[in-house]
């Protein structure tokens, strides 16, 4: 290993440690921080963001990257140098003050969003949103783009992805999804989702969530499960992965599928190789690939029939009052009920992507100026009607439901839908490579699938970009076909089509 | 305000923010971090310690302090410059690598200590202790001292204090305390402490602890109460003060008086002026003064008769099984039972300082080399016999009971005893200034005392050194007399002397 490379690694790991600290501060803010501490925490996050940024973009980093240029000794070094160069080239264009400012503004905006959401008053959040959009436009202009500003923002979350391609893919999904929703609406079988609305005591939900996530492979010696308003998984260190959930005592699905989802994220983080911690080789490929892992465990595994063949007995024991008298068939149908609804995080697998298409279209317009902030609620409601045939009664159930815009993370939402598409392609291939996968899941063997994911995805860190990785695993480019095939194969029998 | 001073303030606040982050990471480690994350957290703490150290000792800091030298515009500026100069002069002598190393070694040593304590095997902790002593000796030699190495370490926690003076004060306490313990042992009344050993459900303890600490003035909008093995209070930000406790369901006192103690620390932190946050004017004077606040609320207020005149009814309602049939007199006697025992944190007010004298004498010898690490358990046990007439059965009840040595904080223990002495002097003066203080406490009016402490101590930050502050408040230097007077006045009637 060259001296320059060794020096680079020390610097990179230091940056990674500072990012891990940022991540913990943010987790703390979301889960437990005393309310009066917000401004001070915003200052701390801003300071750390500047420290990270300065290190990423310093002359020292430039010098080291240039010295190593072309002399990487193996594919690990190649990956690390390529990705640090990419980060450098992007970050160096953004002044440290702007980075600190965005961090501070968004920490404060999160608080404002939470209050505005509580009161269902978009106008209280609007000034923060305007400020963040303006700041993110500045970022896009500084970073540069070929076709449209939104490209520069999307690239932060899904490196290499283009807005035009996302738009094309979404355009291709829109019609078939809407058609399928209509077919299910008119189908002979109607799952009775009300059976998931009994009384599910919080303590029992928590215990059951821990049981399921441990069983599929989340390691609680290297992670935690806590409560937050908006569930998330924070895992910059493979040995410290923190997922959150929220419990609704009158609803089974929120915590159960929410924790399976976050555990999917968490197991990806825990599966990154510790020897590469804090370097690109020890980091997730993209948010889309990350989401493929969470959706795969939440839906492709967690809402599958074999999964509940294995766990439904325990589930009934955990919630005897609500589910003791409910059979497995109606239960399985209920957890897969398709119903156009208002809230993205509660959406079923079929309508979910429509929620994302709405957000993608809106933020693309917000960034390029075609949509004014003051018109967000009306635009949102109109699009909901158009895409899903439902209308929110208030902003809390509409444009204030998600935390993302308060974090300034425009370009993040599309990765959710990409994750669904990737998950379908990956799961299709996993089933080809492990022909008895469904049986294994039915026997409670999740280790085989996890090992396959570790081998094919987790251990590679950022060795491959998302499109290369999908190509490498599945032999094909990203496509909507496996996802649509999966939906038809799964939902047709449930709905008697 | 001069430009240099303004620039200095920006730098100082940044350092303070980084220290606040360190403090949060440490709190997290103690309360909730997943076990596998320890090594990574040690790296983070080490990195932050180096970042803080580099900023404190950089050329930039030197330049600014020199430019301002003598041109401070008011006493606030004077205090900040004086204390930053003091910190600079001390810190600049210690290389950044050594600071990072101590931070790392002590984070790992904490883990080793916790395990060794669990197994009651001192020899498993001994190598870590040896390493920390060696590192702290290096620090002392680099910082420099006039009389003995221990001075350089003590100065970190109690600026300006000398080992010789502490030794003299402790020597003066030793005899009178031992005499008083003997007189109480042979006194006619014997409190029945067993009434505190009934069943006290954890949930009720927590609720009651929150009730008491809110009532005396701890603000939960700017703070938290959590659980940790070793209770502490972490408060670098006045708006985010985190105290911890531990619950023993078979013992009333641990959480009740423990939280009153930590709340005393916490209210000091919350009473520091937010406008001076992260600067010496917004920081506590010393650990001794800090401890005076915790001991004042825990003992001088919290174990007083008027306090329980006010709260005992509620207390019986909180713990009806254990205390429903116990009168106030025997309860008050029980919480003030004096009994030489093995564990410092459970010691009564009379014997407590003897535990400190033991630790002070031992660590002074460890630092100057008169005591070898391998001989620690024997030396500990012999001193316990000598000072308190009791002998631990195992290291867990002896030399492994406290976390401090695993943190490398030699010089910290004496501040506990100084805190007791300061508290007695301060409380004596508060009673002179507020003649009906006891009646007010009996009526549940704690605001008058808290306001007096805010006015006389908290709002001054580091404007005065501890000796100047005590002189200013009480009109006298530190003395053991008020403490001994307090003990006699309080315990003689309880014991029928």
Instruction: Tell me what pLDDT residue A240 has.
Output: 96
Residue B71: per-residue pLDDT: 83
- The pLDDT value recorded for residue B235 is 75
Residue A107: which pLDDT band, with cuts at 50, 70 and 90?
confident
Q: Same domain, yes or no, for A15 and A64?
A: yes
* Cα gap B285→B464, rounded to integer Å: 7
* Residue A242 parent element (H or E): strand A240-245
Residue A466 counted as domain residue: yes
Strand partners, B223: B241
- Report d(CA B217, CA B213) in Å as an integer: 6
Number of domains into which chain B is organized: 2
Name chain B contacts of A20, Cβ cutoff 8 Å: 40, 44
Per-residue confidence band for A346, with pLDDT thresholds at 50, 70 and 90: confident
Pick the last residue of a domain from A91, A113, A131. A131
Distance between CA atoms of residues A338 and A93, nearest Å: 45
**Quick check: B222 and A24 CB within 8 A?**
no
Q: Do B21 and A18 touch (CB under 8 A)?
A: no
The mean of the pLDDT values for chain A is: 95
> Is A236 found in the same domain as A189?
yes
- Set of chain B residues whose Cβ sits within 8 Å of the Cβ of A244: none
Whether residue B266 lies inside any domain: the answer is yes
User: Which one of A25, A51, A221 has the shortest CB-CB distance to B34?
Assistant: A221
Alpha-carbon distance of B379 to B362, in angstroms, equals 8
If we measure between CA atoms, which residue out of B261, B260, B222, B215 comes closest to residue B238?
A: B222
Q: Cβ of B277 and A14 within 8 Å?
A: no
Residue of A nearest to B37 (CA): A239
| Residue among B129, B45, B123 nearest B378 (CA) | B123
Q: Which of B173, B236, B233, B165 is nearest to B466 (CA)?
A: B165
A85 shares its domain with A170:
no
Residue B47: which of A17, A33, A34 has the nearest Cβ?
A: A17
Residues on chain A touching B51 (C-beta within 8 angstroms): 51
Those residues whose C-beta lies under 8 Å from the C-beta of residue B70, and which sit 6 or more positions away, are: none
pLDDT given for residue A111 in this prediction: 86
Pick the residue from chain A with its C-alpha nearest to B32: A224
The shortest C-alpha distance from A239 to chain B (Å) reads 5
Instruction: Check if the beta carbon of residue B45 is closer than 8 Å to that of residue B107.
Output: yes
Task: Give B471 or A70, the one with higher predicted confidence.
Answer: B471
- Distance between CA atoms of residues B291 and A366, nearest Å: 55
Whether residue A157 is contained in a domain is answered as no
Q: Which residues of A touch B32 (CB under 8 A)?
A: 224
Establish, for the pair of chains A and B, how many residue pairs have beta carbons separated by less than 8 Å: 82
How confident is the model over A356-400, as pLDDT tens digits?
999 999 999 999 999 999 999 999 999 999 999 999 999 999 999
Nearest in space to B32 (alpha carbons), one of A220, A34, A212, A38: A220
Work out whether the CA dihedral A183, A186, A188, A190 comes out positive or negative. Answer: positive
Residue A154 included in any domain:
no
Query: Is A140 part of any domain?
Result: no
| Best to test chain A binding among B16, B43, B278 (most A CBs inside 10 Å) | B43
Active-site annotation holds for B131: no
Chosen from B24, B27, B226 to mutate, greatest number of chain A CBs within 10 A: B24
Q: What is the dihedral of CA A16, A21, A24, A26, to 10 degrees?
A: -100
Residue B248 within any structural domain of the chain = yes
Same domain (yes/no): A341, A419: yes
Cβ-Cβ contacts under 8 Å for A285 (sequence gap 6 or more)? A457, A460, A461, A462, A464, A465, A466, A469
Q: For position A144, what pLDDT does the model report?
A: 96
B98 and B183 in a single domain? The answer is: no
Q: Give the residue from A250, A208, A200 showing the smallest Cα distance to A225.
A: A208
Q: Do B224 and A34 touch (CB under 8 A)?
A: yes
Instruction: Tell me how many degrees the CA angle B286-B289-B293 measures, rounded to the nearest 5.
Output: 135
- Domain boundary, last residue among B119, B147, B174: B119
Contact A34 B221 (CB under 8 A): yes
**Any domain includes A385:** yes
Residue B99: half-sphere exposure toward Cβ, Cα within 13 Å: 21
Tell if the CB–CB gap between B34 and A240 is shorter than 8 Å: yes
Percent of chain A with pLDDT strictly greater than 70: 100
Instruction: Assess whether B167 and B115 both reside in one domain.
Output: no
Domain co-membership, A242 together with A391: yes
Does B226 lie in the same domain as B112?
no
**Are residue B226 and residue B89 in the same domain, yes or no?**
no
**Cβ–Cβ gap A21/B25 under 8 Å:** yes
Chain A residues with CB under 8 Å of B41 CB are: 240
By Cβ distance, the residue of A21, A51, A219 closest to B44 is A21
Q: Tell me, what CATH number does B332's domain have?
A: 1.10.1370.30
Of A37, A222, A224, the CB nearest to B240: A37
Active-site residue among A22, A131, A158, A262? A262
User: Length of chain A, please?
Assistant: 497
Range(s) of the domain holding residue A105: 3-131
> Using an 8 Å Cβ cutoff, are B293 and B457 in contact?
yes
Q: Is the pLDDT of residue A235 over 90?
A: no
In a domain, residue A444? The reply is: yes
Spatial distance between the Cα atoms of A278 and A274, rounded to a whole number of angstroms: 9
Residues A194 and A275 reside in one and the same domain: yes
pTM recorded for the entire structure: 0.91
Q: In this structure, are residues B81 and B69 in contact, taking their beta carbons and an 8 Å threshold?
A: yes
Do B198 and B57 have their domain in common? no
Interface of B with A (CB under 8 A): 14, 17-18, 20-21, 24-25, 28, 32-37, 39-41, 43-44, 47-48, 51, 219-224, 237, 239-241, 277
Span A448-477, pLDDT tens digits: 999 999 999 999 999 999 999 999 999 999
Domain C-terminal end among B59, B88, B119 = B119
Q: Does the structure show a pLDDT above 80 at A236?
A: no
User: pLDDT tens digits for B192-219?
Assistant: 999 999 999 999 999 999 999 999 999 9
Set of chain A residues whose Cβ sits within 8 Å of the Cβ of B39: 239
Question: Which residue in B33, B47, B221 is closest to A240 by CB distance?
Answer: B33
Chain A residues near residue B277 by CB distance under 8 angstroms: 40
Please state the ipTM of this predicted complex. 0.89
Q: Are residues A329 and A438 in the same domain?
A: yes
Q: Which residues of chain B, if any, have pLDDT below 70? A: none
**pLDDT for position A437:** 98
Say what the pLDDT of residue A72 is.
84
**For B20, which residue in chain A has the nearest alpha carbon?**
A44
Q: Which of B158, B262, B269, B397 is catalytic?
A: B262
Comparing CB atoms, the residue among A18, A34, A41 nearest residue B222 is A34
- CB of A84 within 8 A of CB of A280? yes
């Amino acid at each position: 290993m060259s001296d320059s490379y060794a020096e680079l690694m020390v610097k990179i790991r230091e940056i990674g440690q500072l990012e891990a600290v940022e991540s913990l501060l943010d987790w703390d803010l979301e889960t437990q921080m005393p309310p009066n501490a917000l401004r001070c925490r915003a200052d701390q996050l801003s300071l750390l963001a500047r420290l990270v940024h300065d290190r990423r973009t310093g002359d020292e980093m430039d010098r080291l990257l240039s010295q190593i240029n072309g002399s990487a000794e193996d594919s690990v070094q190649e990956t690390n140098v390529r990705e640090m160069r990419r980060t450098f080239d992007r970050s160096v264009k953004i002044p440290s003050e702007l980075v600190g400012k965005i961090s501070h503004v968004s920490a404060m905006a999160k608080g404002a969003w939470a209050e505005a959401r509580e009161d269902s008053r978009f106008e209280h959040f609007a000034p923060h949103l305007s400020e963040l959009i303006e700041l993110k436009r500045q970022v896009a202009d500084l970073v540069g783009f070929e076709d449209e500003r939104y490209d520069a923002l999307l690239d932060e979350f899904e490196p290499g992805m283009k807005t035009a391609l996302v738009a094309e893919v979404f355009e291709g999904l829109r019609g078939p999804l809407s058609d399928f929703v209509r077919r299910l609406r008119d189908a002979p079988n109607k799952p009775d989702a009300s059976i998931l609305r009994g009384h599910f005591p919080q303590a029992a939900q928590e215990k059951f969530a821990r049981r399921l996530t441990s069983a599929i492979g989340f390691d609680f010696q290297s992670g935690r499960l806590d409560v937050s308003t908006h569930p998330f998984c924070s895992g910059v260190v493979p040995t410290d992965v923190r997922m959150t959930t929220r419990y609704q005592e009158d609803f089974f699905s929120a915590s159960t599928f929410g924790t399976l989802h976050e555990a999917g994220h968490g197991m990806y983080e825990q599966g990154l190789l510790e020897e590469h911690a804090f370097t690109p080789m020890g980091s997730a490929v993209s948010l889309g690939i990350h989401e493929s892992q969470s959706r795969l465990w939440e839906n492709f595994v967690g809402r599958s029939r074999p999964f509940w063949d294995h766990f439904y007995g325990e589930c009934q024991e955990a919630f005897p009052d609500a589910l003791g008298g409910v059979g497995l068939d109606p239960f399985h149908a209920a957890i897969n009920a398709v119903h156009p609804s208002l809230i993205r995080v509660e959406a079923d697998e079929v309508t979910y992507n429509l929620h994302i298409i709405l957000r993608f279209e809106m933020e693309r317009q917000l960034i390029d100026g075609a949509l004014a902030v003051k018109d967000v609620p009306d635009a949102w409601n109109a699009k909901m009607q158009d895409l899903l045939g439902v209308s929110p009664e208030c902003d809390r159930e509409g444009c204030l439901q998600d935390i993302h815009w308060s974090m300034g993370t425009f370009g993040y939402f599309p990765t959710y839908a990409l994750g669904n598409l990737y998950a379908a392609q990956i799961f299709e291939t996993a089933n080809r490579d492990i022909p008895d996968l469904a049986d294994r899941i039915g026997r409670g063997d999740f280790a085989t699938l996890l090992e396959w994911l570790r081998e094919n995805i987790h251990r590679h860190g950022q060795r491959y970009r998302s499109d290369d990785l999908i190509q490498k695993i599945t032999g094909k480019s990203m496509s909507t076909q496996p996802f649509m095939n999966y939906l038809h194969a799964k939902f047709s029998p449930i709905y008697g089509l």
